[in-house]
A and B are shown apart, each in its own frame.
Chain A
Amino acid sequence: MNPNRIYLDHSATTPIAQPVRKAMQPFLESQFGNASSMHSYGRDASAALDDAHFVTACAINARASEIVFTGCGTESDNLALRGGALAARKQRGLARGHLISALTEHHAVEVTLKQMAELHGFDLDFVPVDAHGCVSVDAVRAALRPDTVLVSVMLANNEVGSYNDVAAIGALCRAHEVLLHTDAVQAPAYLALDVRALNVDYLALSAHKFYGPKGVGVLFIRDGAPYLPLLTGGGHERGRRAGTVNVAGAVGAAAAMKFVAGEREAQSARLRALRDRLIAGVMQRVPDARLTGHPVERLPGHASFVFKNVDGESLMMALDVEGIAVSTGSACTSGDPEPSAVLTAMGIAREWALGGLRITLGYDTTDAHIDAVLELLPRCVARVRAAAEAVH
């Protein structure tokens, strides 16, 4: 194990922050009660869980009753999409119902919507995105139908860092009485979230993306929005998600929300500067390199590139053996020589799109880390390009 290795894959996951670990500790040790139990152990757990709901809600300008703790961001998305759309369709007495989203969404949204179309008979449309991967209000407006039930548009894209104007899309949806779900998983460490200002009915989060533990997600369900639980049984989380609640996880998620609320403004400014230095350095030192996503309106620590005629996975591995941990931009690989759907939807040509690399900075990233990347990346890109020549 390389003791000097550098972690630059914060969009994939983040380390648990000290205050978060501290907040969780009692619930991994002495305060182990089941929050549903009526006895003293249960009451202690229940109190902590209530507090976690409250803190999390406050952080996004919601009510405690509108917060559901799930197992992960993917589950939050699944719960919102399936539960919301199925319930809404029934409420409206529609035979099929129509869903709108975009091909830039995370798999948790895209795959779920496709399955819903196939298994539950929804009609589904993916609206086009612009060259930065952004969904416009006009595109959604053009796709709306009288039987549209739900729109899903992510807040910040995990692959290319761009933002969508969820507030404006939300206003449009309100006007048409259509539900809006947003996957905001990439946001909390950098952006303050206000569910009222965003005009959303459902908002999904994942604790391990903002210095909390893995294994816990958050779903905001606006009071009054339709829902249908996916996990049924003991009626936990006010009937929205059955299963003994992961109290330690919920406490951790809430503590993480609090932690980032205190850090994000200063960190975002700091990371933006580091990231911009990284981007400038890469563009200067690596031939045939392009930044993907919006050049300005993007997550502060997010730098995603495409390199022409480079195998992205090889590049990621080449950096890894030198001790730098980054991502190709998309977690899923299936030996598919096809480039990512997101980059393709953005109109990026194949010989570029196959060379995707995503570098995402975090609260612990330093100038020295950026120096190391700028030192190694050009060499690794050259080596990967040379390897392609050397074999064919």
Chain B
Amino acid sequence: MKKSRVVIAMSGGVDSSVAAALLVEQGYDVVGIMLRLWAEEGNDAYGQPNSNRCCAPEAVADARAIAKMLGIPFYDIHAEAVFKQRVVDTWIDGYANASTPNPCFNCNRSIRFGFLMQRALALGAEYLATGHYVRVSRPGEGNTDSVFKLLKGRDEKKDQSYVLHVLGQRDLSRAMFPCGEYVKHEVRELARKFNLPAAERAESQDLCFLTQGDYRGFLTRQAPQVAQPGPILNVAGEEIGRHEGLPFYTVGQRKGLNVSAHSANTEALYVIKLDKARNAVIAGPASALGSTNAFVGAMHYCADAAPDAPLRCTAKIRYKAREAPGLLTPLVNGSAEFLFDEPQRDVTPGQGLVCYDGDAVIGGGVISRR
């Protein structure tokens, strides 16, 4: 008699494949699903149609073969249109708002734990599992609170809690993350133990749906209206150069600032701010960088409720940033402010602020200008 039905989100890669194998070994009634996501049209260097990095046809074939090996049903579901609408288009909108958006939050919220969760429930599954390196602490399991907690994965280097901060109680109560208890090399060993032919996908810093170079080319082709040339201003408001479009700049950036030689100015210039109203890049010296506060317009809490009082905790302002201590103050109508103990160099609107209480994720949200 099998345990509950679990849908495992498969990618053909080693993490989700090991997760699937672990669930099967633990006696769950496992069903594998792979989502096909949108990628920019066109052909690659070999004349083959482009595909999203996460779900190329070879990856689908790998996932299907692994599912067959594990003896579980496998569905290959086309989610290109919903991914384009909910992830890519909203990401483009972020640039239209002079921010530097991170599409992975929307993908996890509305594709993985939205669209895919719905499919999982429709199949009669009680849980949706992924190969992410995070953990869920359920009430009662050494967790004295009554809430589900999202914890970092045991492997600090692989921890993916930053992008999963979007999950709430309902999601966490239905989520399973089998890889979270392991470090990466243990997962590889498990793959060997289970005889999984899962190939190690090359890690890439680029977004999964960019198939032809980086995001700048993509925006130029797909959404030229978000990149309008404009002035580069210094902190005094004087025009010192021209830029080709706000999306090509991000706070803290130094390269690519096309400024005329200013006789009085021999300091290196950095992007301090992106000014939507004036379509201007504000540039200044390194001393002008640095902010002790980050404002989040819509703060999400994994416990589904804001803390009653300001809370001392740590926060990351970027996936790869180091956690920094400070004070989280929930504000009216769902916004929040984080005051860092030490100034942070590049607090960037559009990126995510994610707060931690030790290993547990308190919550997070998109940084905006107040």
Interface residues, chain A, with chain B CB atoms under 8 Å away: 311, 313-315, 317-318, 320-321, 333-337, 383-384, 386-388, 390-392
Question: Which one, B31, B38, B83, B118, contacts A314 given CB within 8 A?
Answer: B118
Interface residues of B in 119-135 (CB under 8 A from A): 119-124
Q: Does A334 lie within 8 Å of B78, measured CB to CB?
A: yes
Q: Does A320 lie within 8 Å of B73, measured CB to CB?
A: yes
**Given the complex of chains A and B, what is the CA–CA distance between A335 and B75 in angstroms?**
13
**Given the complex of chains A and B, what is the CA–CA distance between A326 and B318 in angstroms?**
46
**Given the complex of chains A and B, what is the CA–CA distance between A364 and B123 in angstroms?**
27
Q: Does A336 lie within 8 Å of B121, measured CB to CB?
A: no
B122: A residues at CB distance < 8 A: 311, 314-315, 317-318, 383-384, 387-388
| Cβ-closest chain B residue relative to A334 | B78
**Given the complex of chains A and B, what is the CA–CA distance between A313 and B73 in angstroms?**
15
- A-B pair number, CB within 8 angstroms: 60
A392: B residues at CB distance < 8 A: 114, 118
What would 12 A/B residue contacts be, using CB atoms closer than 8 Å? Answer: A314-B123, A315-B122, A317-B123, A318-B122, A320-B73, A335-B77, A335-B81, A335-B83, A336-B78, A383-B124, A384-B122, A391-B114
Closest beta carbon of chain B to A182's beta carbon, Å: 31
Question: Which one, B31, B117, B118, contacts A321 given CB within 8 A?
Answer: B31
Question: With A333-B78, A335-B82 known to touch, is A317 a contact of B119 (CB < 8 Å)?
Answer: yes
Q: Does B78 lie within 8 Å of A383, measured CB to CB?
A: no
A interface secondary structure, majority: helix
**Given the complex of chains A and B, what is the CA–CA distance between A333 and B79 in angstroms?**
10
Q: Does A391 lie within 8 Å of B81, measured CB to CB?
A: no
Interface residues on B, range: 20 to 34
**Given the complex of chains A and B, what is the CA–CA distance between A98 and B242 in angstroms?**
56
Interface residues of B in 68-125 (CB under 8 A from A): 73, 75, 77-83, 114, 117-124
Q: Does B118 lie within 8 Å of A388, measured CB to CB?
A: yes
**Given the complex of chains A and B, what is the CA–CA distance between A384 and B82 in angstroms?**
18
| Cβ-closest chain B residue relative to A2 | B73
Does B36 touch A at the CB level, under 8 Å? yes
Q: What are the interface flags for B235-264 relative to A under an 8 Å C-beta threshold, 1 for contact and 0 otherwise?
A: 000000000000000000000000000000
B79: A residues at CB distance < 8 A: 335
Q: Does A383 lie within 8 Å of B121, measured CB to CB?
A: yes
Closest beta carbon of chain B to A391's beta carbon, Å: 4
Question: Which one, B31, B80, B119, contacts A335 given CB within 8 A?
Answer: B80
Question: Which one, A335, A386, A387, A390, contacts B78 given CB within 8 A?
Answer: A335
